[in-house]
Amino acid sequence: MTNAFSYACKDCEGMEACPASFVAETTDEVWKLVELHAQIAHNESSTDWDSETREYLGTLIKPISV
């Protein structure tokens, strides 16, 4: 049963070397963590992401059970 969502930065194209991954109860929370991580670790602002980038990142957020 799905009760959480996970995101692994290394699944993202070009981020294979990044060890960060997140698990949270909702996709909303995972998005916040991804945005914060992008800013801190990759110096990337989520406000620069276009809808295509967001769609791509969204496919990397996986439902899991913990």
36 is an interface residue for Zn ion by CB under 5 A? no
60 is an interface residue for Zn ion by CB under 5 A? no
Secondary structure (3-state) at 37 = helix
34 is an interface residue for Zn ion by CB under 5 A? no
33 is an interface residue for Zn ion by CB under 5 A? no
57 is an interface residue for Zn ion by CB under 5 A? no
Name the minimum Å distance from CB 55 to Zn ion.
Answer: 18
Between vectors from CA 17 to CA 42 and to CA 38, what angle results, nearest 5°? 20
